[in-house]
Amino acid sequence: MSSSAAVRAFDADVPNDLEAFWLPYTANRAFKKNPRMIARAKDMFYFTPEGRAVMDGTAGLWCTNAGHNRPPIVEAIQAQAAELDYAPAFQFGHPKAFQLASRIAALAPADLDHVFFTNSGSEAVDTALKIALAYHNVRGHGSRQRLIGRERGYHGTGFGGISVGGIVSNRKMFGSLLAGVDHLPHTYNREQQAFTKGEPEWGAHLADELERIVALHDASTIAAVIVEPMAGSTGVLPPPQGYLKRLRAICDKYGILLIFDEVISGFGRLGHAFAAERYDVVPDMICFAKGVTSGAVPMGGVIARKPIYDAFMDGPEQVIELFHGYTYSGHPLAAAAGLATLDLYRDEDLFARAKALEPVWAEAIHSLKGLPNVLDIRTVGLVGAIDLASKPDAVGARAYAAMDRAFRDENLMIRITGDTIALTPPLIISEAQIGELADKVGRLISSVN
């Protein structure tokens, strides 16, 4: 640290120095020249430091499903901070982590009934991949080491997650990644699927590519397949009808574990507790995060089927069964926030609400078809994406301009990936607000011609 920087560090009177914070997934220089700053939030809205209300069209980063600063969640966190700030989860426990695990297991389908807590979606993914490898190992099938992801998949930013992930920019700077990873093809085909509401009819056959991968490597080398039931971060790709069932059947045929990364699709986003329920497919593990605490405290986790957990419960009882975990696994504040969040989802029936709103939402977002540069619109649950044509010389510039103008001129937060606009509001959005949001996005699209 330079001496002037050292002085500055102790000088409480130097506000608004934006330099030190290296923002994640952000164009830092553009942001720091003209920041988009948020000071507080309530329900469907953010507020800038000047007090301007900005509608949250993205549930933060797909996480504040119950809306912002809901009193039951706020109060639960406050009370927990006063009662128990921290307790280790290695060899000790506190009641709320067990309560939350039971509640999450009860929401998950079939025998998905054991929960391993992490602090983020990225950690949830790495945890699930490690459990898959270790599961085969403890059963004497240690040759099953390959992990299969999918093109365009997003599984967070850990080395495991980017290895099985399929978003090029997230991978290309970071070396050779995990060895022994292969990828299914992504499921998007604009010619066949453009402007579909819900799951496209075309594309189930793409699951059969797993047969080709098995033929290439042999099933005895493959541990697990991981997919997002609905690919979110790549720009919202709902699964083709029947695709996930086909993937399940092929995994069953060859003894391969199927992992659903439900970090986005969990906790109501698609009108159900988990997408597994919507698509009537039981995976072997579900990764979750985000909506479990409605974004209020970082938390993630993996839900594993009973036979997976049971496979580890062997050997002398005083010996640790799985050498994995995090200092903050099941943190008291996160557990308290999670319990209050699940109560709120239940009391306000928010998953059913998302399902009931799906047709209204789809209608509103698809009404933007025909605006300049709109190449495709996809909707599913309370999720929508609009692909804009890229400017020939500047891929991403059109959507970036839309995101910036949305915040400054339309008082709306949207999310972008490349030239795709993604919309994922809190599940408490009203029908009137859906109309308002669509009107704002329509004006934006017309303005970034």
Ligand X SMILES: Cc1ncc(COP(=O)(O)O)c(C=O)c1O
Under the rule (CB under 6 A), what is the footprint of ligand X?
A: 120-122, 125, 154-156, 228, 232-233, 261, 263-264, 289, 300
Measured from the CB atom, the residue of 154 and 243 that comes closer to ligand X is: 154
Q: Torsion-angle region of residue 203: left (phi > 0), alpha (psi -120 to 50) or beta?
A: left
Q: What is d(CA 399, CA 401) in angstroms, rounded to the nearest whole number?
A: 5
Q: How far is the CB of 113 from ligand X (least distance, A)?
A: 22
The whole-angstrom separation of Cα 206 and Cα 239 is 10
What are 97's two structure tokens? 């982590």
Q: What is the CA radius of gyration of the chain?
A: 22
In whole angstroms, how close is the CB of 56 to ligand X at the nearest point? 16
CB-nearer residue toward ligand X: 281 or 438: 281
For ligand X, give the closer residue by CB, 214 or 385: 385
CB of 165 to ligand X, least distance (A): 8
Amino acid symbol at 154: Y
To ligand X, the closest distance from the beta carbon of 263 in angstroms equals 4
CB of 1 to ligand X, least distance (A): 29
- CA distance readout (Å), 153 to 36, 165, 170, 213, 417: 28, 5, 10, 17, 13
Least distance CB 157 / ligand X (angstroms) = 6
Nearer to ligand X, 168 or 319 (CB): 168
In terms of phi and psi (left: phi > 0; alpha: psi -120 to 50; beta: otherwise), the region of 234 is alpha
Nearer to ligand X, 162 or 213 (CB): 162
Spatial distance between the Cα atoms of 244 and 229, rounded to a whole number of angstroms: 7
Nearest distance, CB of residue 168 and ligand X, angstroms: 16
Of residues 157 and 193, the one with the C-beta less far from ligand X: 157
SS3 call for 231: strand
Distance CA 179, CA 195 (A): 38
CB nearer ligand X, residue 261 or residue 436: 261
Cβ-closest position to ligand X: 121
Burial class (CB in 10 A: 0-12, 13-18, 19+), 156: buried
Which residues are within 8 A (CB) of 268 and not within 5 positions of it... i.e. 6 or more apart? 65, 291, 345, 350, 351, 354, 382, 427
Residue 178: CB minimum distance to ligand X, A: 16
Which residue's CB is nearer to ligand X, number 263 or number 413?
263
Query: Which CB atom, from 153 or from 271, has the smaller least distance to ligand X?
Result: 153
Give the closest residue to 130 by CA, choosing from 339, 292, 287, 362. Answer: 287
- In angstroms, give the least distance from the CB of 120 to ligand X: 3
Q: How many residues does the chain have?
A: 449
Q: Which is nearer to ligand X, 122 or 341 (CB)?
A: 122
Give the whole-angstrom CA distance, residue 241 versus residue 420: 23
CB of 314 to ligand X, least distance (A): 30
CB 254 within 8 A of CB 225: no
CA distances, 165 to each of 150, 156, 225 (Å): 6, 8, 11
